Structure 1
Amino acid sequence: MDNNGKLNSNDEAAEKLVQDGDALKVEIQLEPQNGDTKINMTEIKAAFIGMGKEELMKFANDPFWVKLRWFLFILFWLLWFGMLFGAIAIILLAPKCSSPEPRDWYENSPIYEISVANFKDGSTPQDGVGDLEGLLEKVDYFKEIGVDTLLIDSLMRSTSGDADRIEDFKEIDPRYGSVDHVKQILSQLKQAGLHIIMKIVPNYSSLNHSWFEKSVERIEPYTDYYIWSNGKINEPPNNWLSVNGGSAWSWNPIRKQYYLHQFDDTQPDLNFRNNELVQYFSDVFKWWLDLGLSGIHVDKVDFLFESSNLTDESISDNPGTFHDQYDFYRHTNTRDLPETIDLIKHWASVVNNCSGVFSVNGIPDSIDFHSANLIHRPLIIKDGVLSADNIKRYINHKLTMSQQTWAIDSDNDEEIADYEECLTSIMLLLPGTLVVSAGSELGLRADSIIPWDNSPNAGFTRANSSWKQLPDNYEENNVEFEKTQTDSYYNTFKSLVKERESPSIMHGNTDTDVINSTVFAFTRLKSGNPGFLVLFNIDSQEKTIDANHMKHVPDELTVIARSKNLWTQLQPKSSITSRNIRIAPTSCIVLQYVPSNNEG
């Protein structure tokens, strides 16, 4: 014990109370005043100073720890590579969002329907009639308006150059040149990026066809190439009427029988219950495709077959019609017979097997026909009467079908002149393909000569005169002039064809509506892309509408195109509100928008 009353470390008591490795510090203190002894015990915090080198090496070289380190090292890299390859596998194999199916070439641009004789005289010397050289001369024009598919009328040898009265289905009309010449021009058009589809009407031939002459004489195998009947006493066989008016039967004094013609009496109907005739037309399609066509358009197929027992037609319920009028009857025995579908399927396979596109007009609306590439089902306007509800029903019905080809058909072109530009604009922005008549971009009738400028003969020909009358007012309504006018439909047509490249137009959903009873409206939208709103006021009065209720339509809209008669302040790229849109009578407007969360 030292002078302060503390035990030295050598004291026996200390040795007994404090041993190496104890976790307590023991301090014994003597109180001199009263002789008491005080013992203090505190916890010792041992400090870890690690293993020495020799001890560390002992563990490092221990076989157990060596194996453990290698195991953990290998396990780490296996897990790392496993996660890497797993991530790659997820990226490659995980289901992806399905991409839209690529469009076929005939769906990309409008199909431009051309009467070759009316388009451009390009022959040398020029004779005042349009020709294939004229098409070749205007290749740049087709590219300018965004067209790469042409639907031309028949090039077959015909009576007086009338493509609707064919004298030989496997011979080229002399006005178009030789077979080699036509083949060369078709090849040049194809090299220029144009696809040519030719229209064929197999229902009838010309009265001057050699088949008919031999059929009259009952020369085999042509005896039954046409529909013949003895008829009643001094009367036609039945009450069938021609589409053009009058009886569908005409008497032939040589054969002493009636022959059927559902159109003009110079167009006798062919008998497609004759298998030789069916095979012949299969060969006709192959022949023309080999010549360089991209496709065949078969027109008026609803008239291909008639009832074999020549049953009378029943009376329809069409008001205001009389027994000598075509619409007085139902035509269940002369149109849309079931045999038609089987024949069209056969011809479609023939054309497709030759790598051609098969187009058809006349399939009933009630049949969703899958065999044809293009099925023309036009919007039919009777007596010039059109309504927003009719347009909506027509479009919604077509959208349920597997293929959409849009066109306009009217029995009175004059009465729908105010509608045609808007209807064309609408159909340009719908899914599928629009068939548009040459000159419609200028507001012309389908059968008009195309006026290219205000020079004599409208730039159509350098001959002394054209083969038919030029359009009225062509000096101010021609291609050259319309190009310079900002508000011209020519420029609107071009801009809308360009908009067809938008994902929303090519692949988007379509929602239709009728607003205020006279404004037809629809939207096109593909997720992640700008949407389009199209409005068409059919009424003769101005309308102010609110389109904000339509699905995904926001407050702010951007003008893309408009009718010429719509307010001039609505220039392209200007902004308007969707809640208060003024639309002039018989006018339309195309708007673009960034989709909102509005679900309609």
Structure 2
Amino acid sequence: MESGRLDLETHAEVNGTNKPTAATYKSIPDDDTNWQDKKGENIGDMGKPENEEIDDGAKEKMLSEEVKISPKKDVSQVIFISENGDAKIDVAPKGPVLSGMGKEELMKYANDPFWIRLRWFLFIGFWLLWLAMLLGAVAIIVMAPKCTAPQPKTWWEKSPIVQLEPDDLKGKDAISLSHLLDRLKNQHVSVISLSNILKSTSPGHVTDFRDVDPSIGMENVKTLIKLAKEKEQKVLLEIDPNHSGIDHPWFNRSQKLEEPYSNYYVWANHKVGTDGNNNPPNNWLSTYGKSAWEWSSSRGQYYLHQFDKSQPDLNFNNSLVIEEFNKIFSHWLDLGINGFRLGFTQHLIEDPALQDEKMSTNAAQADEYESLVHVHTRDRVENAQVLRIWRENVINKTKEDGLFALRDDIASDILAVFNEKNKLVDLPQSSMFLMHADNGITAKALQDGIKPWRDHVYNSSKASWPAWDLNGDKTALRNRTLPAVAESLTLMSLLLPGTPVLKLNDVLHEKDSEKTAFATISEKRNDEIFLNGDFHSDIVNGTVFVYTRLKSGLPGYLVAYQSSEHPAVIDLSGIPHVPKEVNVLAYSSNYLSEKKAGETIETKLSSTRVPIAPKSTLVLTFVPSKDEK
């Protein structure tokens, strides 16, 4: 036996051979006591021959329980070595092993003031950091810009407005008035506007702003207002404050220089011409042409009339006249009127210095209205000051639920001035293209009339919900166009972003027993998609005016008006978000003109092949596609 090794004979097979194998081990250093297996047996016994005892002193030394494991000692490990077919056991040193601190050492540090302060600092710091992060998250949520929720639409934005003329009310008692309101409600009309009902010698020639045409009767008007309130309908009154009739008591007293009426109208002295004759004060012209001044022999002065000479202009440079109309508005509000539509307000204020107008560049004759630039008599900024006083009165008396609107077309730049600080005009309009529409109105005329208003006014920071007046103060739509064209244009206007203003026969020209296309479409105006949805317009096939209404998560709608006199099959698949299949919701009655007897309308159509009849309107619904086209 070699020094330091013990040979062991065994018959175990090693490396595939039955040759005897010798196992050796190195002697354990006297100072190494870390030799105890998991069961508490001495690893040193592995080399004990049978029936041979190990020295008890050495064993006791190796198993000393008093010696601690030192991190400085090398821990040995057993290594099996194959050497010339022999298996040998070697004990080699292992890397240092660190041991944890005992309880006494831990308590020593635990009670050390430095470590106590450090732990408290870290503990408090953690919670302060957590609280700061929580407050920061809350601040981000509260202060981060949000998508502004759209303002809820008002009653005058949801329903079409239907004008009632004196002939629509004459001879009607409470029962017939109630029936009329019910018929309108069945067509989903909840706003009625009383037009030209004030006491007058003729339309526009008012003799009393507080009374109505005797053929209608004030009691019937009160009954109408009461019935409308019961049926949850609103009633508006149309007034033209710019002028009165020449037979108005105010004018008669003003001619006689009776106070306080002497300055209720615009009076001016004559000018002496080179020929010695008396001439008008300046070159101002009436909208009908020729001088806007008329001589009053009883007063010995000229009075201003921007319209007919029997319609003298009231003087709104006089605060008494402004306040007079405030009293008039209050009178009607007390009777239950819900708001006003005012006409000809662009002419309220004139230049008090009476300066001459400059000549226009238009190719117009000398006495024509278009021959002058009307900066001294029209669209003056002072008009807004007068309107603001009236609006505040109306809003205060109605607790901010009253309508204050104009019947006049208003340019976007003027509207921007009016609404610069606070909204002044509800339902501003630019509907001249509709007021002059006839059988020949084209898709381009519709596009050019509607799109600029949407682009420059509705989508701006001064956004306003416009009125689309199909009649205005001109000839009614059904007197300018064929009935079928009037119906189609009316249906086309119903789903525009704005409020259509219609005549009674635009709404009630069909049997009450039928659910009309008007009722079907008008009902949709209360849906979110039409109150706050997106608007896109286009021209298809060169003759079809098309617009869509879209809002995320809702069905899409498409309205098409064929301006041509010929039928067509149009491809709508190029319109953004229009899918391959569309559904028919409603159509004008002349859409059936191309159908043969007994032939029915298909309710589902391919968007690439949609038939449309001449001068007809078609309303489609669809599930918007996700891909932008």
Query: How high is the TM-score relative to the length of structure 2?
Result: 0.69
1:499 aligns with 2:509: no
Partner of 1:429: 495
Partner of 1:597: 626
Partner of 1:389: 444
Partner of 2:208: helix, strand, or coil? strand
- Taking a change above 3 Å as real, the CA distance of residues 503 and 226 of structure 1, as seen in their structure-2 partners, is same
Partner of 1:459: none
Q: Is the 8 A contact 1:406 1:427 kept in 2?
A: yes
Q: Deviations over 1:406-451 (max 9, x none)?
A: 1124657444335432332232112122212212024xxxxxxxxx
> Could you tell me the percent identity over the aligned residues?
31
**Number of aligned residue pairs:** 526
Partner of 1:269: helix, strand, or coil? coil
Partner of 1:144: 186
Query: Which amino acid is the alignment partner of residue 407 of structure 1?
Result: D
Partner of 2:486: 420
CA distance in 1, matches of 2:79, 2:387: 113
1:372 aligns with 2:425: yes
Q: Is the 8 A contact 1:406 1:433 kept in 2?
A: yes
CA distance in 1, matches of 2:569, 2:361: 41
Q: Deviations over 1:316-335 (max 9, x none)?
A: 6368xx666x5653461575
1:260-339 equivalence runs, <5 A? 260-307=304-351, 309=354, 311=356, 314=359, 317=362, 329-330=371-372, 332=374, 336-338=378-380, 339=382
Aligned-CA RMSD value: 4.8
Out of 588, 605, 609, the position equivalent to 1:580 is 609
CA distance in 1, matches of 2:308, 2:142: 64
Partner of 1:532: helix, strand, or coil? strand
Partner of 2:395: 352
Q: Deviations over 1:297-339 (max 9, x none)?
A: 11121232445526367466368xx666x56534615753313
Q: Deviations over 1:158-196 (max 9, x none)?
A: 33xx453322223455555567x8556534422321111
- Taking a change above 3 Å as real, the CA distance of residues 26 and 224 of structure 1, as seen in their structure-2 partners, is closer
Shift of residue 506 of structure 1?
1.3
Query: Which amino acid is the alignment partner of residue 531 of structure 2?
Result: M
- Taking a change above 3 Å as real, the CA distance of residues 598 and 25 of structure 1, as seen in their structure-2 partners, is closer
Partner of 1:406: 468
Shift of residue 109 of structure 1?
0.9
Query: Which amino acid is the alignment partner of residue 170 of structure 1?
Result: R
Query: Which amino acid is the alignment partner of residue 262 of structure 1?
Result: Q
Shift of residue 270 of structure 1?
1.7
CA distance in 2, matches of 1:234, 1:560: 67
CA distance in 2, matches of 1:41, 1:19: 18
Partner of 2:489: helix, strand, or coil? helix
Partner of 1:524: helix, strand, or coil? strand
Query: How high is the TM-score relative to the length of structure 1?
Result: 0.72
Partner of 1:362: 408
5+ long unaligned stretches in structure 2: 1-7, 10-46, 64-68, 70-74, 81-85, 92-109, 111-119, 121-127, 458-462
Partner of 1:545: 570
| Larger CA Rg, structure 1 vs 2 | 2
CA distance in 1, matches of 2:490, 2:437: 19
- Taking a change above 3 Å as real, the CA distance of residues 224 and 86 of structure 1, as seen in their structure-2 partners, is closer
Q: Is the 8 A contact 1:295 1:358 kept in 2?
A: yes
Query: Which amino acid is the alignment partner of residue 353 of structure 1?
Result: N
CA distance in 2, matches of 1:38, 1:306: 124
Partner of 1:375: helix, strand, or coil? coil
- Taking a change above 3 Å as real, the CA distance of residues 593 and 146 of structure 1, as seen in their structure-2 partners, is same
Partner of 2:116: none
1:168 aligns with 2:208: yes
1:210-225 equivalence runs, <5 A? 210-225=249-264
CA distance in 2, matches of 1:154, 1:330: 30
CA distance in 2, matches of 1:94, 1:254: 71
Q: Is the 8 A contact 1:122 1:137 kept in 2?
A: no
Shift of residue 478 of structure 1?
5.0
Query: Which amino acid is the alignment partner of residue 469 of structure 2?
Result: A
Partner of 2:621: helix, strand, or coil? strand
Partner of 2:173: helix, strand, or coil? coil
- Taking a change above 3 Å as real, the CA distance of residues 225 and 570 of structure 1, as seen in their structure-2 partners, is farther
Q: Is the 8 A contact 1:302 1:363 kept in 2?
A: no
Q: Is the 8 A contact 1:311 1:333 kept in 2?
A: no
- Taking a change above 3 Å as real, the CA distance of residues 506 and 382 of structure 1, as seen in their structure-2 partners, is closer
CA distance in 2, matches of 1:270, 1:83: 67
Q: Is the 8 A contact 1:428 1:496 kept in 2?
A: yes
CA distance in 1, matches of 2:575, 2:375: 45
